[in-house]
Amino acid sequence: MKEPRVVQADNAGLFALSGTRSFILGRRRVALVDPGPHEAGHMEALARMVEDAEEGTILLTHRHPDHAAGAPALSARLGFPVRSGRPAGALAHGDVITTDEGDLQVIATPGHSRDHVAYFLPDHGLLLAGDLILGEGSTTWVGEYPGCVADYLASLDRVAELPLHRILSAHGPPLDDPDEAIQRYRTHRLGRIAQVRRALEREPELSVEELVDRVYSQALPHSLREGARWSLRAILDHLGVAPFPRDGVPTESGGSLEQGT
């Protein structure tokens, strides 16, 4: 089998890296993973790629706008249903989506978002990882809901148990050493948790803003500070130091918050 076809959206930037990568598996019976932003050129390119399909499904790894904003318009144009890990008839761990070029198995991977799933092609050892693991660097944003840090670490463990040969992320190039990539992301997250623990051992009364300066340094760009604050709040919740706030959590828009935290 050839790898899934890929169409990259024109939303490159600090957070989306080279842009959101939409994946297409199948020719007649199609799965289209992460249609990306609602951008006319990208929607047109995707529609052309599947115009001969007899049936298809639009699959989301999660509902952040840089992955999902184009889904409603593309669904209306193609007549394909949209499915994701969101509640109300959602995809569940272990579900299988069949195409004429192989089956996709749903892998629950919450952490970056509560509804995050990845898609595994068991016959070929490929993982469509969404934002669980990016094609570059060692981190993705984990700061959206209570318990997200524990969920994220468990999700890394879950995919580490799969017989993987390659990871295809929604942002950045393919990863040809899945074990190394998973360990790199785990090491970063555990290291960040350890940094926070050590900082609080030295100065137990540090505020979140002060923690940002201690953990990330005062040189952290302003554009990344909000994401860093929520990442630290999630770690404080994980450590049992302070409950995750009920209000004010940012939602991703356009570029998102996930990179660098």
Q: Average of pLDDT values for 214-218?
A: 85
CA distance 133 to 140: 7
pLDDT of residue 89: 62
- Specify the DSSP class assigned to residue 119: E
Q: Which CATH number fits domain 5-133+165-173: 3.40.50.10680, 3.60.15.10, 3.30.420.40, 3.40.50.920?
A: 3.60.15.10
For residue 116, give every residue at least 6 positions away whose Cβ sits within 8 Å of its Cβ, in sequence order, or none.
61, 62, 85, 109, 110, 130, 131, 132, 155
For residue 43, give every residue at least 6 positions away whose Cβ sits within 8 Å of its Cβ, in sequence order, or none.
35, 70, 73, 74, 77
**pLDDT one-digit tens code per residue, 103-148:** 999 999 999 999 999 999 998 999 999 999 999 999 999 999 999 9
Q: What is the pTM of this model?
A: 0.93
Residue 211 near residue 232, CB atoms below 8 Å: yes
| Residue at 236: amino acid letter | L
Q: Which residue has the tokens 């555990």?
A: 190
Domain borders along the chain are: 5-133+165-173
Q: How far is CA 103 from CA 12, 35, 42, 51, 242, in A?
A: 30, 19, 25, 20, 43
Q: Average of pLDDT values for 60-73?
A: 94
pLDDT of residue 258: 41
